[in-house]
Structure 1
Amino acid sequence: MTGSPNRPDGSGRGDGDGPPRWVKVSAALAIVLVAVFVIVHLAGGGMVGHTP
């Protein structure tokens, strides 16, 4: 058998490799929110009423 006993698919990745799932989800959510913020501002719809 060539795979690692840590994972049944033989990929050899254990539970300690890489960041936790909540970090990945939080990063993806932050990227999406920043992208929406930038798109709204480039479209001219953001911060209306905040100019003197």
Structure 2
Amino acid sequence: MIGQADFVVVDLGAMGSSILYQLAKRGAHAIGIDRFAPPGAGPTVRKRNSFC
């Protein structure tokens, strides 16, 4: 199907890429969108106490 998808994954960092891979592996029509080129090339920022 052209122009249709079962899932759209936004942000293709480590988690988004893994999710997109698993969806495609299971036969889902999935599209990945990332604001960086190439996808997944954005910065990873770690902050102290970011999880509450």
Question: Is the pair's TM-score, using the shorter chain for normalization, greater than 0.5?
Answer: no
Q: TM-score, normalised by structure 1?
A: 0.32
Q: TM-score, normalised by structure 2?
A: 0.32
Name the one with the larger strand percent.
Answer: 2
Structure with more relative contact order (C-alpha pairs < 8 Å, separation 6 or more): 2
Name the one with the larger helix percent.
Answer: 1
Q: Answer with 1 or 2: which has the greater Rg.
A: 1
